Chain A
Amino acid sequence: MDCMFELFEHQADVGVRGIGRSWEEAFQETAKALFSIMVRIERVKHVHPVRVQVRAPDLGALLVKFLNALLVARDKKGMVFSAFDVVLTQGKEDWALTCTARGEKLNVVRHEPGTEVKAASYSELVLKKTGAKEFLAQCIVDV
């Protein structure tokens, strides 16, 4: 099973889904799905690294917090991202995520901007092991 990301339907907003061989990969793919709403992600050069760190009591909250942290980085740095290296660590009481997101400054001509994502929500939040080596992460994002 290869890693993949996709968008799924929601009446007002958009669903982002990532599938991978580990939770890390599923998170990375979900992040790609998030940025694919906003730009032509294949045109975003992954040159400048930005580090994102979040903690949350469960994997679901961690995914939502991670996606929201990427949106903060987008606005504060004026960047969009296309590659993500995620490391997850389970502590006694919570989960920790460290991600190096790589991207570049938004280029309105080359990246063909789409709709700005406002935030990731708990709605339709699913984290599921769908096979021996298949992990799925998804949620609805507000656009």
Chain B
Amino acid sequence: MQKSFWPSALWTFKAYRDEKMVKTESVDQDVWEIPRSGKMNVPGRVWANKALMDALQEEAGEKPEWNALNQIQNVAMLPGIQKYSLALPDVHCGYGAAVGSVGAFGWEEGVIAFGLIGFDINCGLQTLATPFTEAEVLPKKKELADALYKTIPAGLGSSGKIKLSLDQVDEVLEKGARFALENGYGLKEDLHFLEESGRMQNADASLVSVDAKERLKSQLGTLGSGNHYLEVQVVERVFDEKSARALGLFEGQILVSIHCGSRGLGHQVGADSLEALDKATKKYNLFVPDRELVCAPIQSEEGQNYLKAVNAATNCAFANREVLAHLTRGAFERVMGIKEKEVCTLYGVGHNTAKVEKHKVDSKTRKLLVQRKGSTRGFGPGSRDVPEKYARVGQPVIVGGTMGTHSYVLTGTEKAMKETFGSALHGAGRTLSRVKALRTWNGESVVQDLARKGILVRGHGLKGIAEEAPGAYKDIDEVVDVVARAGLCKKVVRVKPWIVVKG
């Protein structure tokens, strides 16, 4: 008797799914391992609680070839990767590499991979601390929201007031945040509190295409759209009084977080590099399990050129956030009547980066190229690269939530230095696609719901707001609890959103 089509098709899909399914094993509370198999050079390691892991596995079952677990496994296959292909609890499916992942590669034998950096190079967060409390700003909340909305260029096609020549773009790419300062945007003190003091040393503007530079000519000091935002926040809870004091934070305090990156310039460096790395992958006969992971040996000419172009774009993002910090200070100055320097940079750190760092591998200190995609550096106390003021507490790790949920300021730990190459999570992590989010919410009702909770949203497009609805993300409190319980970060303060400017 002939079987009906559907049960047979279902059986075939299940067999296919089971074959593709990435195996995970629990190795400790909140730690999962993807055992080394096939072409993997190292195991995968995922920091997640059971519910978060169940969600990752469910997603993998639905889309066997394109999912976060599969992408973590794929990164483990790249040449020269050290210890583990790592993922943090905010991990979700990206392109090539999962968003929320870390790959550390031996400087001599490793590769630099496109998917582990992506298009939005050095997209990151810069958080400013104001001297105000919520009660002090409350009478002017609406005025401040409107001032920020007018001041911060955001959304599709937005351009800033700064118009750059191609020579000036080169300066941005070489000097990073210093370019902003030299041109009157930002404060000198900020440099102490930016990763790499706001300037990557090994940057080469001549390796960035004219197309990329043209795109920046009127985009410096713009926010962009998508998940980029400027958020005024209130410190709602202090977990660690001593660390909070060291970071200059207190309950009720108003903070401002700016989330954005290197704009069209960085995207173009990505697009240009994709082609160059595609060629290099073939030239050096490198095995890549996903074309988006095209790569080049770090020591090759192509690898060095890509790294120097990435560093240039990284500098562009540092400058961009510093200009936006300046514009934010201007809005506070006008509305609250304070001086620019009273709004200090708490810390600024990137998410999509490639950094030369030294870490212990098999008890030896090794020079590595740590590539973080949708994850952030989170160095522990005493690390050379942590600002002197924070040396005893560790680097601030800013975890950006959604426009309706908490964000956190954590600090890096010694354990993270050993377990995750000094890396930490960057946000909540998406759980619902943009297409599904648009089907589920409409922008207007999201704005109204948030207004009822006391959160003022000023957006340049309702569609973008619906895509970024808080329900489209994982529960940030749960995600942060995982890294805190695991000892990868220490909780310092939790903040709530108050005013949100979206592109």
Cα–Cα, bound, A116→B159 (Å):
13
Write out the residue numbers on chain A whose beta carbons fall within 8 Å of the beta carbon of B225: 113-116, 143
Kindly report which residue of chain B lies nearest to residue A72, judged by CB atoms: B211
**Given A14-B435, A112-B463, A118-B119 in contact, is the A124-B66 Cβ separation under 8 Å?**
yes
Are A113 and B156 in contact, CB atoms less than 8 angstroms apart? Answer: yes
Interface residues of B (CB under 8 A from A): 59, 66, 68, 92-96, 99, 115, 118-120, 155-157, 159, 211, 214-215, 219, 224-226, 264, 267-268, 270-271, 274-275, 278, 290-292, 294, 430-436, 460-461, 463-464, 467, 503
Write out the residue numbers on chain A whose beta carbons fall within 8 Å of the beta carbon of B431: 11
Q: Does A31 contact B (CB under 8 A)?
A: no
Cα–Cα, bound, A38→B467 (Å):
12
Write out the residue numbers on chain B whose beta carbons fall within 8 Å of the beta carbon of A78: 157, 159
Interface residues of A in 67-86 (CB under 8 A from B): 68, 71-72, 74-76, 78, 80
Kindly report which residue of chain A lies nearest to residue B437, judged by CB atoms: A9
Q: Does A140 contact B (CB under 8 A)?
A: yes
**Given A64-B274, A121-B96 in contact, is the A113-B460 Cβ separation under 8 Å?**
yes
Taken residue by residue from 124 to 143, chain A's Cβ proximity to chain B (1 for < 8 Å, 0 otherwise) reads as 11000000000000001011
Q: Does A10 contact B (CB under 8 A)?
A: yes
Partner of B95, one of A8, A72, A140: A140
17 further interface pairs, Cβ-Cβ under 8 Å (given A108-B156, A115-B226, A143-B226): A9-B433, A9-B434, A10-B66, A10-B433, A12-B92, A65-B275, A71-B264, A71-B271, A106-B157, A108-B157, A113-B157, A114-B463, A114-B467, A116-B225, A119-B268, A123-B95, A142-B118
Write out the residue numbers on chain B whose beta carbons fall within 8 Å of the beta carbon of A42: none
Write out the residue numbers on chain A whose beta carbons fall within 8 Å of the beta carbon of B270: 118-119
User: How far is the CB of B400 from the nearest CB of chain A, in Å?
Assistant: 14
Q: Does A101 contact B (CB under 8 A)?
A: no
Are B93 and A12 in contact, CB atoms less than 8 angstroms apart? Answer: yes
**Given A10-B433, A113-B156 in contact, is the A121-B95 Cβ separation under 8 Å?**
yes
Cα–Cα, bound, A8→B225 (Å):
20
Kindly report which residue of chain B lies nearest to residue A106, judged by CB atoms: B157
Partner of B94, one of A7, A9, A12: A12
Are A11 and B92 in contact, CB atoms less than 8 angstroms apart? Answer: yes
Write out the residue numbers on chain B whose beta carbons fall within 8 Å of the beta carbon of A125: 291
Q: Does A56 contact B (CB under 8 A)?
A: yes
Q: Does A61 contact B (CB under 8 A)?
A: yes
Interface residues of A (CB under 8 A from B): 7-14, 38-39, 56-57, 60-61, 64-65, 68, 71-72, 74-76, 78, 80, 106, 108, 112-116, 118-125, 140, 142-143
> What's the count of A-B pairs with C-beta under 8 Å?
144
Cα–Cα, bound, A74→B214 (Å):
11
Kindly report which residue of chain A lies nearest to residue B59, judged by CB atoms: A11
Most chain B CB within a 10 A radius of its CB, from A56, A64, A142 = A142
User: How far is the CB of A104 from the nearest CB of chain B, in Å?
Assistant: 12
15 A-B residue contacts at CB 8 Å?
A9-B435, A61-B275, A65-B271, A71-B271, A72-B268, A75-B215, A75-B219, A114-B225, A116-B155, A118-B119, A121-B96, A121-B274, A123-B95, A142-B118, A142-B267
Cα–Cα, bound, A118→B94 (Å):
14
Write out the residue numbers on chain B whose beta carbons fall within 8 Å of the beta carbon of A11: 59, 68, 92-94, 430-433
Are B95 and A142 in contact, CB atoms less than 8 angstroms apart? Answer: yes
User: How far is the CB of A72 from the nearest CB of chain B, in Å?
Assistant: 5
User: How far is the CB of A24 from the nearest CB of chain B, in Å?
Assistant: 22
Partner of B434, one of A76, A121, A123, A143: A143
Cα–Cα, bound, A72→B461 (Å):
22
Write out the residue numbers on chain B whose beta carbons fall within 8 Å of the beta carbon of A71: 264, 267, 271
Cα–Cα, bound, A122→B74 (Å):
15
Are A114 and B156 in contact, CB atoms less than 8 angstroms apart? Answer: yes
**Given A11-B93, A116-B225 in contact, is the A122-B294 Cβ separation under 8 Å?**
yes
Write out the residue numbers on chain A whose beta carbons fall within 8 Å of the beta carbon of B294: 122
Are A13 and B214 in contact, CB atoms less than 8 angstroms apart? Answer: no
Cα–Cα, bound, A18→B94 (Å):
21
Are A7 and B435 in contact, CB atoms less than 8 angstroms apart? Answer: yes
Are B93 and A122 in contact, CB atoms less than 8 angstroms apart? Answer: no
Are B292 and A121 in contact, CB atoms less than 8 angstroms apart? Answer: yes
Are A121 and B226 in contact, CB atoms less than 8 angstroms apart? Answer: no
Kindly report which residue of chain B lies nearest to residue A60, judged by CB atoms: B291
Cα–Cα, bound, A82→B92 (Å):
32
User: How far is the CB of A93 from the nearest CB of chain B, in Å?
Assistant: 13
